[in-house]
Amino acid sequence: MKDLENVKNEKFAYLTTKGRKSGKDHEVELWFALYDGKIYLSHEGKHTDWIKNLLKNGIVKLKIGSENLQGQARLAPLGSLEREAGMRALYGKYYGPATKETLNDWFELSSVIEINPK
């Protein structure tokens, strides 16, 4: 596993998924957070193309700062420890510490994506 300490303070990650219909690369800029060797992303609302793409093929590419990575992405299930870890890491990075109530409210309509870098 790659040590990502040198990029943890970068503001954005650039996620590339493989188009589920076109097969072409699809890149998006997203906030991210690291926790326990995993990379977490989130998206509020309906599943967008990039989420639908990773649901069909979870092998993704990420560029964070100077690091180019590959990983296996999946949605963190509702109520899972992974989802809670991702919510806490994402909120904490961009806004600071929060109560469980605040996290649950903030991420109520959001998908949390966990990426295991290879």
Identify the domain containing residue 54 by its residue range: 5-117
Number of domains in the chain: 1
pLDDT category of residue 3 using cuts at 50, 70 and 90: confident
What is the per-residue pLDDT for 74?
A: 97
DSSP character string of 24-56: -EEEEEEE-EEETTEEEEEEESS--HHHHHHHH
- 81 vs 78: CA distance, rounded Å: 9
Which CATH number does the domain housing residue 95 bear?
2.30.110.10
Distance, C-alpha 49 to centroid of its chain: 15
pLDDT(1) > 60: no
Angle at 33 between CA 26 and CA 50, to 5 degrees: 20
Per residue in 58-93, pLDDT (tens digit) is: 999 999 999 999 999 999 999 999 999 999 999 999
Q: pLDDT digit string (tens) for 12-40? A: 999 999 999 999 999 999 999 999 999 99
pTM of the model: 0.94
Q: In what order do the strands lie in the sheet with 38-44?
A: 25-31, 12-18, 59-64, 67-75, 110-117, 38-44, 33-35
